[in-house]
Amino acid sequence: MNQIVQNKIIFFRDLGIEHWSNTFEKMNNFTISRNFYTLDEIWFVEHYPIFTQGQLNQKPNLKYIKNIPIVNVNRGGQITYHGPGQQILYFLIDLKRRKLNIRQLIDIMEKTIITTLNELSIKKAYTKIKSPGVYIHKKKICSLGLRVKKYLTLHGLAINVNMDLTPFSYICPCGDINIRMTQIKEFKKDITLEHLRNILVKILSNFFCVMMVKK
């Protein structure tokens, strides 16, 4: 496969709902085994309830909060919650191929979410320089955390869509005691994850200047 094709296509997968550990293993295996010819991919997935702790906030002896498991992960950021009704996107991107640095990729991710919210008539979403993610009405709607190894990215973002937000109250999301969480359902009652994914694919295609191909 020539370099022009590599630059013009990103595969995307809909993994449905999976245990976090299964997706983490697949993500690592994909990254370890990829080579110059491997096309970039973006994975859409929901996870069963779990707290994940980034490298800034790891407490090895803490295994559960309110019967929800906790795992330490090799991404940036601090603690967050994943559960059904939250759309997660894993970005398996070759930064060198895309001629991007990590800050530029984060900008694309944040702008993708803000543009998606605009498409849903949810206005006035914004970002914070010192706290990556997307916010609306002083609440956080999308969390972000990445790892980069030899220009290859792992992990990604999680946008709250139609979920039980209660577990966020058991933690300080992203290490900030003042953060409160929100979700798309609070602004658009009839939202579905399928509809959201269709919008995200279109907008990601525009921001990356690629054809998004389902795999």
In three-state form (DSSP H/G/I as H, E/B as E, the rest C), the secondary structure along the chain is CCHHHHHHEEEEEEEEEECHHHHHHHHHHHHHHCCCCCCCEEEEEEECCEEEECCCCCCCCCCEECCEEEEECCCCCCEEEECCCEEEEEEECEHHHHCCCHHHHHHHHHHHHHHHHHHCCCCCCEEECCEEEEEECCEEEEEEEEEEECCEEEEEEEEECCCCCHHHHHCCHHHCCCCCECCHHHCCCCCCHHHHHHHHHHHHHHHHCCEEEEC
Residue type present at position 60: P
83 is in an annotated binding site: no
- Which residues on adjacent β-strands are paired with residue 143? 158
- Catalytic site includes residue 174: yes
157 is in an annotated binding site: yes
Confidence label for 73 from pLDDT (cuts 50, 70 and 90): confident
133 is in an annotated binding site: no
| 5 compared with 58, residue with greater pLDDT | 5
| 73 compared with 111, residue with greater pLDDT | 111
Residue 173 pLDDT > 80: no
Taking residues 112-136, what's their average pLDDT?
95
pTM: 0.93
CA atoms within 13 A on the CB side of 127: 16
Average pLDDT value for the chain: 92
Confidence label for 109 from pLDDT (cuts 50, 70 and 90): very high
**CB-CB contact of 201 with 212 (8 Å):** yes
**CB-CB contact of 119 with 199 (8 Å):** yes
pLDDT at 199: 98
Catalytic residue among 142, 172, 174, 209: 174
CATH architecture of the domain with range 12-214: 2-Layer Sandwich (3.30)
| 75 compared with 106, residue with greater pLDDT | 106
Distance between CA atoms of 181 and 139, rounded to whole angstroms? 5
Phi, psi of 86 (to 5 degrees): -110, 130
3 is in an annotated binding site: no
pLDDT in tens, 8-63: 999 999 999 999 999 999 999 999 999 989 999 999 999 999 999 877 665 655 67
| 171 compared with 154, residue with greater pLDDT | 154
175 is in an annotated binding site: no
In the block, residue with structure tokens 């990356």: 208
pLDDT at 174: 66
